[in-house]
Chain A
Amino acid sequence: MIAFIIRRLVQAALVMLAVAFIAFAMFNYVGDPVAIIAGQDLPAEQRIELRKSLGLDDPTPVRFARFVGNAVQGKFGLSYRTAEPVGKMILERLPATLELSIVAMIVALCVGIPMGVFSGLYPRHWLSRSMMTVSLIGISLPTFLIGILLILIFAVLLGWLPSFGRGDVVKLGMWSTGFLTVSGWKAVILPSITLGLFQMTLIMRLVRSEMLEVLRTDYIKFARARGLTNRAVHFGHALKNTLVPVITITGLQLGSIIAFAIITETVFSWPGVGLLFLQSVQAVDIPVMAAYLVAIGMLFVMINLIVDILYFVVDPRLRSSGAKAGAK
């Protein structure tokens, strides 16, 4: 177990180094930092002076080490677009993105699992069939189109919900939350449905196919033979055993939800990191792009690591085979 975790940690560190190197390369080789900071018409001597003071003439490994050192402390320099410290910009917007992603994930789980259970238990029921058809459409519709449709129906035609922003937020120290106001809750409904819909169909299909598989196994037949109620068999025995892959997928999808938040945040003008990243791509704001890449990379690596370890904890079968592989 410990050997496994150490191996995964080393792998995670290597991945992070690779991501950091890409970010570093973007920083250094895309555009000329001197020209961007000082403008085009600086005299040549001052230009050289500036290069030296920025440390751009040092050998690449030294500069990379300095970059990693700064990145660890959250220092990514100043944004080219707004001249604010990049680390601060990202931290300010992180709560918005995290709140949206978590609500989206909860929506996806709370709707996706029951739908998957139902269509797994009664695969021939008309409701299950229509759910499968709807889920196919859900996969085919691009995220931004779903967002636009929801805005058209609930904001423009019905006028029930706001179509942009976070509503009123309350500051709790560093964290700004929309969960404490009514307008905050109203504002999060449409974006979280948009963001969660794809994951919802994914979870539903996963639970459905796992349920179909589990229901065929002997221990389910045995549980029925013992005269247990349907409820106990379906939820106590069948659903419990489908949850391991659901945990994995949920964990892994949390990462892609945060990445897909870029699209949802743009559609709903949600003031999160995704919107910031998109504006930086449009404006070629390299420091923000690099910092976002490192932050997202960190998040992905951590999620992967936690999911791997969780898997290990949840499924006893893996533990024994993992121990054998570790012993080899």
Chain B
Amino acid sequence: MPFKKQYDSLSSEDLFRKFHIDLPLLTAFLILFSISLIAIYSASNSDINAVIDQSIRIGISLAAMILIAQMSPLDYERIAPWLYSLCFILLGLVLILGETRNGATRWLNIGISFQPSELMKIGMPLMVARYIARESLPPSNTSIALAVMIVILPTYLIYLEPDLGTSVLVAFSGLIVIFLSGIKKRYLVIAFSLFITSLPLIWPMINEFQRKRVLTFLNPEKDPLGAGYHIIQSKIAIGSGGLFGKGWLNGSQGQLDFLPERTTDFIFSILAEEFGLVGVVIIICIYLFIVGRGILIAINSQDLFSRLIAASISLTFFIYVFVNISMTIGLLPVVGVPLPLISRGGTSMVTLMILLGMLMSVGTHKRLVTK
């Protein structure tokens, strides 16, 4: 029954395709969002308002994602320089006019208060990808040098705020593009060794607070009630969860407030405490599925720009997940990176969903290859 078949495909797959939505990705997102609501309910000591707030943010983020997905990668390529320049100017303005909270100047108030560094998470990969994609691979030395400049300047501005975590992630989203463009391995080796050797020089330049974080990470038990408290309590929560967890709403570390910042940075610890190793491995698999799907989209896309941004977004996404989880299990210092799609939070989720919307756009817009 060819007619029936056509009708069927029109009703499901083609309908999503028509609205540039990648169904497997959307499904994965929705699962993670559900987990987010479950975890936030538990982490907020059964505060239904926190769940409602998060649902609203999820709704807004999904809308932003779908909206962005309607644009074609060509549009992104076109607006990339403008967006990047705008972000750059705003980052400059932050340092002059920004709001200071807890000793960090990250916010700019234009009616609503927001962090331009978040916007740069979008602007950066687009700009570097557009710059690299204008010539064939591998890029010339001058191109690489310029691309590195494109990465370093805003990174430095964000670092000045100070916001070490975001500056590292923004730099990463640009550098990954340069890496994917096929920069020679020897440059990578040189860059890496330069980084290592300059560490002793950079160390005194990093401010007191950041240094303390790193030192604490290296030896949390040294100051168990002060700086090391977060890491220790997080490890206790995760470790005590065991294989199957203590059950939803039964995690003592979370329910009795021992775990700090547990709706945001340490939400993974809540999940690990209440759902155990089994639960978190499933969650990690969903993340890996999203990353894998993104890489697949990158490989299948037919122009270099699309490929670069799709890959950059996927790998950056993975890095967010990796940094957050590593921080909760004591593999990396606490740098304040939320767990993608699960942690409570507005701006960072919208930013991320815009990036994922772009990934969908790349996956669903087939561009004609110029001959």
The answer on A and B forming one complex is no
Residues of B within 8 A of A (CB): none
Residues of A within 8 A of B (CB): none
